[in-house]
Amino acid sequence: MRTAQLESVYAAIGDTLAATDTSALSYRAVAVRHADWGVPGQGLAVILVQPSEQVLGFQAALLAAVTPFTEPDGTASAFVTDPGEDISQSTRDWVEGYVPAQIGPGKYTAHVTVGFATLDALKTIEAEPFDAFPVHPATVAVYQLGNSGAARKLLKTWPIPR
């Protein structure tokens, strides 16, 4: 998305939220998992959350609303970086391929990022029992991303009424 189009993107998101029963949006936290993110000997740990059918429907509606504003082949300047930091190729590849690879039933891996840990520590943590619990979103937000797909710069939020 181009910066000049952000206000139109925000309007599309606002319209989608207004047409959604946001009280039905829910997740269930079910496990701690990790992904290889290009840091030798470490993994990016997350709390894995399962989306409800309402969340998947909302995701599909959001995707339809913002697709007219998306563009392929974004540059590193689209990301937030610290001075002297480059955006990793794994981050750029992940963002470029997110749609359609990670959208929709059976593809969307909803999660809360916990951070990096050693693979040995993650193996131990993942083997421990996990007590599942409900998760309800409080806001919808647009962020500019940084490395590891981290939400680095808050651009806009919309509260979700309960």
Q: Looking up tokens 């840990």, which residue turns up?
A: 117
Q: Which domain holds residue 101?
A: 3-159
Domain count, the chain: 1
The number of angstroms, rounded, from the C-alpha of 51 to the middle of its chain's C-alpha atoms is 12
Q: Contact at 8 Å (CB) between 33 and 48? A: yes
Copy the structure tokens of residue 80.
Answer: 């937030």
Whose CA is closest to 42, among 109, 115, 130?
A: 115
Q: Looking up tokens 């500019």, which residue turns up?
A: 144
Amino acid, res. 86:
D
What is this structure's pTM?
0.80
Q: How confident is the model at residue 103 (pLDDT cuts 50, 70, 90)?
A: confident
pLDDT in tens, 13-69: 999 999 999 999 999 999 999 988 778 899 999 999 999 999 999 999 999 999 999
Partner residues linked to 49 by β-bridges: 29
Partner residues linked to 58 by β-bridges: none
